[in-house]
Structure 1
Amino acid sequence: MVSRSYIMEHEEEAQRLDLKTDRASVNRQALWAGIRPGMRVADIGCGSGKTTHYLHQLVQPGGEAVGIDASAARIEHAEQQYREEGVRFVCKDFYQPLLELGRFDFIWVRFVLEYHCSHSREIVGNLVEILKPGGILCLIDLDHNCLNHFGLSPRLDRAIHGIMGRLEKMQDFDPYTGRKLYSYLYDMGLKEIAVEMSAHHLIYGPLNKVDAYNWTMKVEVAAKNSGYAFDEYPGGFEEFQEEFRAFFADPRRFTYTPLIACRGIKSNSG
């Protein structure tokens, strides 16, 4: 039975999202996709609202940004931290039709579809419905998410792959979403599709505080709650956690995750 619960749900999730959201990356990716002043923008799966704030700045003067998320806790945080003139936040399940929100010139979907493997194509279809003719849909996600490390012991490698397999099966998580994005835009009939690939995680040498916190939370929340048995470890999850922390703190460690960004334009006749 696939669960729709959010695998990273914990009381500090809004703070984690705020910490890991980088203005320079958002700006570069959104400008590459074609965002410009005056646009009406939807930030799908807006989380803490920080990205919505950055997108709103990019569409000034005259633009509007709407952050949409199914989590009431995240929307409450966004309202408290990032509500301003021209920005609003909506708590809504984007599995459902979104036409009541009106139509948008630019729709941004970053690090969202990976949590909705069996429904990701359906979600994209809902978004195309609220995209204006000539509007831009930008999909950004990871590939081989959390799976590319060098320096792991054999049992740590087995455990990490086992955890991700468990999340795929039981939580509808997709570590390989990035490679599918182009096909979604192509199959929906979008035009002028462009694709860019870069490194999202590129971690080597001394570990910085943001990466340390982010990956610690991934282990403490997603790995712990995955349901994986940790049979490789006589001490169970705690022993796995201890070995992962030691591996990740080692400056010899090398970790990377490819990021794939795709954008397409809706036909004027659409």
Structure 2
Amino acid sequence: MRYIMESSDETRRLLVQERTGNAREALLLAGLKPGNRVLDAGCGPGGIAEVIAELVGPSGHVTGMDLSEERLAEARQINRRRPHVRFIQGDVRRTGLPDASFDFTWCQFVLQYVPDWQGALQELVRVTRPGGRVVISEIDGLGLHNFPFPESLREWSQRFVEVVARTTGFDIFAGRKFFTEMRRMGLGNVRVHLLPQYVIAGAADMGLMLDWETRFSTLEPVVASALGGLEAYRAMCQEYLQLLADPDALKYSVLLVTEGTRP
């Protein structure tokens, strides 16, 4: 598994994303309770682990797992005053954790990067106790929901998505796939919650603009040659950023939060 968004600014970008998103609402919708033992699989720099720790309280426990030692160091620093939180290095596909260790297993913005996401999901089910909840929160169609959306820019955005998927395995439509797979795996009471990742009625704020600028610059070495070369790629990225800044345009992105109970 290769994390395609790695950059010198990635820890900051992830923390902003974690702290301004809908994780709290999603966690509560999926039934997180005080006292739960929770796995935050792919915890990044620990911003959502903060929220989970608050919601489960001192009678609960949070284990954050991530591949990146840099992210884990930041997560430990952010959560240093929370004795009921720990962080370990690990791969969501092969956690090395005992069977049935957690009441509630949470994974957000991770399986979109994992080509064998079915195997990773099975591993997350394995470490969840019978009767516990497995919750996957993922994007679906990021960056493609805009109006007005000039035809040339819409076509380029679609090609951008296809090139990224082909060259990196990143799945921009990951969110829609977990309901069927959880049902196939035999999980019970499988439910899906639709939440906004962002809704921009007018000009995007500087935080979101910076987020997209970082995405485009990080992916440039990977996809520019397949999208007409560096000059053409940068020109279309600027056109997309202008759309985000357009005070008369609507831009939105959705999350699909899928939860199921291990039998």
**Residue in structure 2 matched with residue 49 of structure 1 by the alignment:** 46
Cα deviations by residue, 1:36-61 (Å, 9 ceiling, x for unpaired) = 01111000111111101110111013
Q: Distance in 1 between matches of 2:259 and 2:91?
A: 23
Q: Is the 8 A contact 2:188 2:261 kept in 1?
A: yes
Cα deviations by residue, 1:127-178 (Å, 9 ceiling, x for unpaired) = 1111011111111111112222223433322222112111111111111111
**Residue in structure 2 matched with residue 85 of structure 1 by the alignment:** 83
Per-residue deviation, 1:211? 1.4
Per-residue deviation, 1:92? 0.9
Alignment of 1:108-127 (within 5 A): 108-116=106-114, 118-127=115-124
Q: Is the 8 A contact 1:229 1:236 kept in 2?
A: no
Is 1:35 the equivalent of 2:32? Answer: yes
Given the superposition, is the C-alpha separation of residues 48 and 9 from structure 1 closer, same or farther in structure 2, using an over 3 Å criterion? Answer: same
**Residue in structure 1 matched with residue 8 of structure 2 by the alignment:** 11
**Residue in structure 2 matched with residue 262 of structure 1 by the alignment:** 258
Q: SS of the residue aligned with 1:258?
A: strand
Q: Distance in 2 between matches of 1:5 and 1:234?
A: 23
Paired letter, 2:97: L
Q: What runs of 5+ residues in structure 1 fail to find an aligned partner?
A: none
Q: Is the 8 A contact 1:141 1:177 kept in 2?
A: yes
Note the aligned Cα RMSD (angstroms).
2.0
Is 1:105 the equivalent of 2:108? Answer: no
Q: SS of the residue aligned with 2:76?
A: helix
Q: Distance in 2 between matches of 1:23 and 1:241?
A: 24
Is 1:135 the equivalent of 2:132? Answer: yes
Greater alpha carbon shift after TM alignment, 208-217 vs 42-51? 208-217
Q: SS of the residue aligned with 1:143?
A: strand
Alignment of 1:139-154 (within 5 A): 139-154=136-151
**Residue in structure 2 matched with residue 181 of structure 1 by the alignment:** 178
Q: What runs of 5+ residues in structure 2 fail to find an aligned partner?
A: none
Given the superposition, is the C-alpha separation of residues 145 and 245 from structure 1 closer, same or farther in structure 2, using an over 3 Å criterion? Answer: closer
Alignment of 1:235-246 (within 5 A): 235-246=231-242
Per-residue deviation, 1:74? 1.0
Paired letter, 2:187: L
Q: Distance in 1 between matches of 2:255 and 2:109?
A: 10
**Residue in structure 1 matched with residue 67 of structure 2 by the alignment:** 70
TM-score, normalization: structure 2? 0.92
2:152 to 152, 155, 164: 155
Q: SS of the residue aligned with 1:89?
A: strand
Q: Distance in 1 between matches of 2:62 and 2:227?
A: 44
**Residue in structure 1 matched with residue 92 of structure 2 by the alignment:** 94
Greater alpha carbon shift after TM alignment, 147-156 vs 26-35? 147-156
Q: Distance in 2 between matches of 1:265 and 1:173?
A: 27
Q: Is the 8 A contact 1:110 1:139 kept in 2?
A: yes
Paired letter, 1:132: R
Given the superposition, is the C-alpha separation of residues 123 and 110 from structure 1 closer, same or farther in structure 2, using an over 3 Å criterion? Answer: same
Q: Is the 8 A contact 1:98 1:130 kept in 2?
A: no
| Percent sequence identity over aligned pairs | 27
Aligned residues: 262
Q: Is the 8 A contact 1:166 1:228 kept in 2?
A: no
Given the superposition, is the C-alpha separation of residues 154 and 242 from structure 1 closer, same or farther in structure 2, using an over 3 Å criterion? Answer: same
Cα deviations by residue, 1:78-120 (Å, 9 ceiling, x for unpaired) = 122223311111111222243348710100011111111x211
Q: SS of the residue aligned with 1:264?
A: strand
Paired letter, 1:259: L
Per-residue deviation, 1:227? 4.4
Paired letter, 2:6: E
Q: SS of the residue aligned with 1:235?
A: helix
**Residue in structure 2 matched with residue 214 of structure 1 by the alignment:** 211
Greater alpha carbon shift after TM alignment, 188-197 vs 215-224? 215-224
Q: Distance in 1 between matches of 2:182 and 2:230?
A: 46
Q: Is the 8 A contact 2:49 2:62 kept in 1?
A: yes
